[in-house]
Amino acid sequence: MSIFVIGGTGFIGSRLTRALAKQGETIVCMDINPHTADFSDLEDRVSVVRGDMTQFDDVLSMMAEAETERVINLSYFLGNFHPPHVATKLNVIGMDNCFEASRILGVKRVVYASSLAVYGKQHHYGERPVTEEDYSHGHDQYAMHKIFNEWQAEDYMDKYDMSITGVRPTNVTGPDKVRGSIDHVNCITQPARGNPVSFPYADFMRLPIHVDDITEVFKRVLMADDPQHAVYNSGGTSVSMGDIAEIVRDLLPDADITFENETGGYEDSSVFLMDNSRLVNEFGLQYRPYPERVLQIINEVRSDEGLPEIST
């Protein structure tokens, strides 16, 4: 099967490309930075092309040449500090380029990354997990783009009977995560390197999901022929920054992690309680315990730094 991965050399995309190729699929990765991942060991199962998601001709021509049967879009600007014109061009127009090219070419399945950012702050929902049916309270640049992406998908499905599915990842974490929400990552990776690290609030909440887990989510949703829903919450582990620090200190007793304040961040936390039963029930997913993932990240970082790995 021919699969077109937009953003296929990135943080999640490179892992998804490998996972799909290892199960025998033929992958074409389109990325504006084609040399940030090496797939040479995958022989003829993966090809990488340089393309600009914001240019419709790039998307259409490369998708057509790949004889695409399924496409996934993992190309977007994380965060809220980008110039509006630049961010809108990629996050909104780029997404429309993906949907429109898929429509023209009759692509069987389209999957795209939405985000937990659509929900906004946890205080909008009280002390309960959000579901896919909840109102989207997100109001910053990235959240509004993702909310609009979900509406774009709905509009295409209503008008053209396309199969388009969104996934709302939470705070994706891994040893090489460097964009978007990274405080929960730095709380692990910096002590693993022997560096001190400090954060504003110990009670600030996060909802991390390991990059390997979200990769598996995207793979299963993409390969499903007839998903039951248009959007799925990924879920994750509800944990405070202080709790992450304690997990790290249990593994690295000399970890130098400090907080400017013990309290004051909880009420300003983004959504950290999420119901992902829709995804679990339909796709049978099960995530490894978060402390195991913390240990995995620590040892991956230490291996890269030439430091001895640790064990529990």
At 102-138, the pLDDT tens digits run 999 999 999 999 999 999 999 999 999 999 999 999 9
Amino acid at 161: D
Residue 297 and residue 189 in one domain? yes
Report yes or no on 298 lying in a domain.
yes
pLDDT of residue 209: 98
Q: What is the pLDDT confidence band of residue 78, given thresholds at 50, 70 and 90?
A: confident
Task: Say whether both 88 and 133 belong to one domain.
Answer: yes
- Does the pLDDT at position 148 exceed 90? yes
Q: How many domains does the chain have?
A: 2
Mean pLDDT on 51-66 = 96
Q: What's the full length of the chain, in residues?
A: 312
Q: Is residue 278, in this structure, part of any structural domain at all? A: no
Does residue 228 share a domain with residue 181?
Answer: no
- Name residues whose C-beta falls within 8 Å of residue 215's C-beta, 6 or more positions apart in sequence: 12, 15, 16, 19
In contact, 27 and 20? CB cutoff 8 Å: yes
What is the per-residue pLDDT for 44? Answer: 87
Single-letter code of the amino acid located at 253: P
**Full-model pTM:** 0.96
- Same domain? 57 vs 186: no
Give the domain CATH number at 243.
Answer: 3.90.25.10
Q: Does one domain contain both 184 and 36?
A: no
Mean pLDDT of 294-303: 97
Residues 94 and 153 placed together within one structural domain of the fold: yes
Exposed/middle/buried for 271, CB within 10 Å: 0-12, 13-18, 19+? buried
Q: How confident is the model at residue 268 (pLDDT cuts 50, 70, 90)?
A: very high
Evaluate if residue 214 carries a pLDDT over 90. Answer: yes
Q: Domain range spanning residue 263?
A: 173-207+237-270+289-304
Task: Please report whether residue 131 resides in a domain.
Answer: yes
Q: Is 193 in contact with 301 (CB distance < 8 Å)? A: yes
- Please choose, from the candidates 53, 39, 66, the residue with its C-alpha nearest in 3D space to the C-alpha of residue 6: 53
One domain for residues 179 and 258? yes
Within-domain flag for 280: no
119 and 53 housed in the same domain: yes
